Amino acid sequence: MEVLSINIDKVFYDNLLKNLFTDPCEVKYWDGEIKQYGVGDAQFRIEFIEPIAKSEIINDPSLAFGEGYMFNKFDIVGNVQKVLESINNNQEGFMNQKKPYVKLVKILSNSIRKAKEDVQFHYDIGNDFYRLWLDETMSYSCAYFKSPEDDLFQAQKNKVSHILRKLNLQPGQTLLDIGCGWGELILTAAKAYQVKALGITLSTEQYSRVLERIKNEELQDLVEVQQIDFRELKDRTFDRVVSVGMIEHVGKGNINGYFSAVKSLLKEDGVSLLHSITSYDGVGTNSWIDKYIFPGGYIPSMHELVSLITANKFCLIDLESLRQHYTKTLEHWAQNFEHALPEIEKMKDETFIRMWRLYLNSCAASFHGGINDVHQFLFTNGANNTWPLTRAYIHA
């Protein structure tokens, strides 16, 4: 019976792999058999150590693929990002067929307690870990490459500068950063523009690091940080509100609540910038990412965000795509991650390492292939007829 089961599995795999990739590849099965799929020289090789159950693949291909790689049921010989792009590019392939019984998004709103747990699940796994593969600014969002020759550090400095220029900050103004990360944006805003900045985060490790940076850079008079949810911030208003890579964590049911909160936190004629990963197909996320990387997360569509901006009576004045910048950012992170493996292996086990390798490369593949994008939305609370007539002020 066991031999029969294995043979049935191989028939299923053979039919699956014939149409999975857009590039020719080589597959080594768990029994040692090697087969070529596609015409031409193999671009990569998949090596199965053991089969993934047919039922798991059919029920949830994303979760089955992610866990299969994580738990070393198969390995990839070659460029992991290119393998994932080869799957993504095959729109008729099994992995890209939307199945009504696969849970792709979470519809329910995240409570404040749940939101904190979800954020800490991802961000509180150690500042020392993130420091190994992020740049010196500890920026964990899309960088901005003014030139292909920019290194990651320069590109992250460019990103912060680009955002602050868009906000047209003036000395003495107040700035709120919702999801401030490790504090680079609020600290730079205070030093470069002499604004009073508040950063909020749900991450304990980020909060501690920002406190440390404020003290070390003697910016106590201009910068503060609080470990709270944006829904808990009351009775304060700001000239500018910015959020970079945070709204993806609030859950589908809370996205309108985010804009309602910004409405109450922003002064009349105030300006807000939202920097968010966006989707085009409205799927939101997949089950592997939801289970292992960003629990409770949801990637909104660009249409969804524009609709909510206008529904909350904001005036949208600027919209910019940074998709190619995020591809380059993720490729830098993935390379840094591999270079830092000797140190990471002292901290994390093999399953964790394979999980993060797949995560970083799958994200790079999705941005490079146009499955996901990242947009910056600039909008005002009211008409704000004093705003510059052109975008020249950003590049002055």
C-alpha pair distances (Å), 80 with each of 29, 331, 334, 357: 18, 11, 10, 8
Q: Which of 25, 142, 180, 363 is catalytic?
A: 363
Tokens of 27: 């597959």
The position carrying tokens 């504090």 is 183
C-alpha pair distances (Å), 307 with each of 106, 248, 310, 313, 321: 20, 16, 5, 10, 17
91: exposed, middle or buried (C-beta count within 10 Å: 0-12, 13-18, 19+)?
Answer: exposed
Between CA 244 and CA 376 the distance in angstroms is 9
Helix (H, G, I), strand (E, B) or coil at 370: coil
Residues ≥6 apart with Cβ < 8 Å to 32? none
Q: Please indicate whether residue 142 is annotated as part of the active site.
A: no
- How is residue 74 annotated by DSSP? E
**Residue 143 backbone phi and psi in degrees, to 5:** -85, 180
Among residues 376, 373, 248, 242, the alpha carbon closest in space to that of 300 is found at: 248
Between CA 22 and CA 88 the distance in angstroms is 9
Q: Point out the residues that are catalytic.
A: 363
